[in-house]
Structure 1
């Protein structure tokens, strides 16, 4: 409901209230107690998108002004199938004739509020119930304590609190007798989560975990117990371990336009279909597999994906442009990753913003890659590799040939004059200290081909010798196994692919992660930002092996922050003083981001979204102390 509609509704209800005597509540509007599961199910609402992730929720209101029935106030378990919002119930049952905005302002932020609003949510994976409050609700200990006491006295099953904000977590720890359900347990334990909906026909492959020996085809539907960091193109993905919308696997699934879903019991339910051609359907809160009919199998075999065209690279340009000298149109010279950061720095300078920064850097353009390849005779090696028909069908031979090619890149000679220019540019633009050598190719962020995570970036490069090695590594990563397989599936001309190298100031992050400037569970919500965060360097955030701290910023509800899950990591990655990174132990259970940093992060994301054309963005960020940095911005690929 929009604010205008809410205001009009409230005005009409106010006039009706003046003309009518307050009626008793009808039985189908609410209940004063919930006696069993059947009564809960009759009143609870299950939504397919948004905040509650397909879990049943039963809204409640406590009217603290009516203490006749209970010292804590009169409790209403709302028929949540009939009423969309707490304030709608309050208005339409004449408990208050105040406008919707006034009710929200008075009853979500004041300790002396008249009404307490919340929900009792059932978590299918845990088979238990939790109490949730709006993440922007400024609860105090008294309100929380009396709410839990009242609910427990009138609900048939044990209740715990599922906090939805940092403030609620901290508050609950100071109120005795309240059990807490963590977000990872509540939502990570769900039986099913559709990350990218769709329908696919293909051969089911139950492989457990991806290894270098795993041979998958484009028409395979793969079932995994461990979400992989990389995956070559397939027709569909099912995991039996909880993952997140920002895992690389899900970003890849979106780019391929294939269904991707988590179902805990998938192996038990469908392992018998291993090796057969099946139909996978992932929609709402449902993931199913069934054997394909002969006609469906034939139709799937006939379908072929059209070739993805790679933008032509400008191989005449030979400069080493700093980020301040780059704009989005320079992507034909240095790739979108580098050019987009140049665009962001341009807008930051124009707007005068100081709330976040983009670390300084410069780029080796595509032409440097092209000259290196030809000078070292690698163009002939590449031609021979691509011409060998055996490599089309022999995965082991293909893997070995690509490894040899990358080794040839690593052993190649960079023009000494170019390296001298790179070293001088590094000191002029960045100064001393470690740098990141980041890949920025012309085969990323394309319509129909995302390219996320296919190419290699090298962290914390300290010495000049390490920098030369890092540049060769980035160039050689054009021929990573996963990159090659993905381009094959998209019918991309491998020879048209070129790699630029963004050399950027190294930042030893205390926290880092990824955010997208929309709510992936409710894409229609305006001004929303979904944030994944972990402590330390950010290489692990998109892996999907451990649950990150996940937050949603809701811009339309007074900039509230909703905590979905907390981070489960017990180690983090940090710079090693000799170069590279090392793993260090960390204290478990602490929040990664403060509310203040998370709010600044969300606002930075929305600003970048606007600067880059208003399309949802996938943004990598990091923090050091209270300083916020952005190190990548690329279009976010929605589900198909």
Structure 2
């Protein structure tokens, strides 16, 4: 079910983050291409002034790294609420930023999520840290919202150069972020809807009138607020391959279609949004009945043996999960410049043992059998949170924990380990599962390892993980 990595400080930095980007080669490793841009992310700890350039190919959004690595907390509603306070004007712990190379015009910028209420002092502080740690100097600040545009006036007076989205993307009422077509039920999210209250169905086409830090899988997205290809929601849409566009007048143009089954198409120059024809509705019904499926490797749950990565091969995915098995193949390949920290796989046996011993398998069966699980998104969200808390609260088998910790001391020196997911529903062809499950970093000691294992086991039932698995059959 999960994998334990022994990661000394230098190895942890190389895999998950670095404290500086000294050259273009390092930028290539820790950034990724999105549309025509190259995107990197940084986090500044306000207490220590440490900066982390995170691997955006491993961590889809800042929250994945902050909660999983820096704070070592599970993805719960309460923890996400606390994390989101870092987007307020007065930030309790972190500055969360982006660096973008706008390849088409060969310009660079640093920026913040459009919903971030960051003030001048934190923008200037971020730029100073970037000057010390990033290979491109004199980065301009790129405001991403009307509020940030006002703040930009102040920081410009204090010597920080500013580049606007209009200069980069050109002013336009219409923006095509991800071209494509979909048929689904149009849902208009009212202004003022809090992020915590957002729950969506997979077949919905949603019209958003505000910026949100994340979204669960949907069939299509249309937004009325200005955005960029690099916003959180746009990155999700890009990963899901769904039509996604911005139109400042979308509410006025398409409001009458709310609640109806619609045809939605995004092209380079325009949106088509209209009532679906009977044939298109039939097409949607067919897709709901016959969704794209990803074949999962079968799971062997009767094998209690641990295995080092050096002993694992692809065939062992049925025992230890695809991530463990894939890493075993990488270790065996001994590729130049690819360093995989020592680690071992904990088989599915122990997850099943934990669930059965505490009656949690019956809770899962009842949950999945309830019709509301598929038809009521709000109920599903609440029920899954209750299940995760039950998994974490249940006592772990002491003999099993003793055996796992003995292996940590024997094979990994008893030092800090990463406790990571390795399921049979990730790292698959057509479904990589990136960012769905939780990781607990730098765990030391037997009891903390037991608690971390339960956090990772519980994350199998994260809302975003369940929705993503359901979307891919």
Q: Is the structural similarity TM-score above 0.5?
A: yes
Scaled by the length of structure 2, what TM-score is found? 0.58
Matched, 1:310 2:296: yes
Alignment equivalent of 1:226, drawn from 179, 193, 211:
211
User: Partners of 2:419 and 2:37 in 1: how far apart?
Assistant: 40
Once the two structures are superposed, what CA deviation does each residue of 1:281-301 show, in whole Å capped at 9, x if it has no partner? Answer: 123354443343454334433
SS in structure 1 of the partner of residue 266 of structure 2: strand
Q: In 2 relative to 1, CA 133–371 (structure 1 residues): closer, same or farther, beyond 3 Å?
A: closer
Greater C-alpha radius of gyration? 1
Looking at structure 2, the residues matched to 453 and 131 of structure 1 have their Cα atoms a distance apart, in angstroms, of 26
The alpha carbon displacement at 1:252 in A equals 6.1
Return the offset for 1:340.
Answer: 2.6
Is 1:426 matched with 2:408? yes
Aligned CA RMSD, in angstroms, stands at 4.0
1:290-309 to 2 correspondence within 5 Å?
290-304=274-288, 305-306=290-291, 307-309=293-295
Q: 1:229·1:249 contact (CA, 8 Å) conserved in 2?
A: no
Identify which of structures 1 and 2 has the higher relative contact order when contacts are C-alpha pairs closer than 8 Å and 6+ apart: 2
- Pairing 1:279–2:263 present: yes
Q: Distance in 2 between matches of 1:432 and 1:184?
A: 50
Q: Which has the higher strand share?
A: 1
Which among 348, 356, 364 is matched to residue 382 of structure 1? 364
Give secondary structure in 2 for the equivalent of 1:465.
helix
Tell me the equivalent position of 2:244: 260
Return closer, same or farther for 1:197/1:222 CA change in 2, 3 Å cut-off: same
Q: Secondary structure at the match of 2:188?
A: strand
**Of 439, 452, 456, which residue of structure 2 is paired with 1:457?**
439
Distance change in 2, residues 1:393/1:358 (3 Å): same
Which of 434-443 and 258-267 deviates more? 258-267
How big is the shift at 1:367?
Answer: 1.8
Structure 2, gaps ≥5 residues long: 1-33, 39-101, 108-133, 141-159
Distance in 2, matches of 1:470 and 1:134, equals: 44
* Distance (Å, rounded) in 2 between the aligned partners of 1:131 and 1:442: 37
Does the aligned pair in 2 maintain the 1:195–1:244 contact within 8 Å? yes
Query: How far apart are 1:235 and its partner, in Å?
Result: 1.2
Gaps of 5+ in 1: 1-48, 54-129, 136-165, 173-178, 492-640
Report which stretch shifted further, 380-389 or 467-476: 380-389
C-alpha displacement of 1:321: 2.2
Q: Kindly state the Cα deviation for residue 341 of structure 1 after the two structures are TM-superposed.
A: 2.7
CA distance in 1, matches of 2:415, 2:243: 44
Is 2:36–2:104's contact at 8 Å kept on the other side of the alignment? Answer: no
* Partner Cα distance (1:189, 1:133) in 2: 12
Q: SS at the partner of 1:310?
A: coil
Give the Å deviation of 1:409. 0.9
User: What secondary structure is seen at the aligned counterpart in 1 of 2:197?
Assistant: coil
Q: Secondary structure of the equivalent of 2:404?
A: helix
Deviation at 1:221, TM superposition (A): 0.6
Residue in structure 2 matching 1:319, options 305, 323, 328: 305
**Which residue pairs with 2:323 in the alignment?**
337
CA shift, 1:384, in A, is 1.9
For residues 104 and 283 of structure 2, the distance between their equivalents in structure 1, rounded to whole angstroms, comes to: 47
Deviation at 1:406, TM superposition (A): 1.7
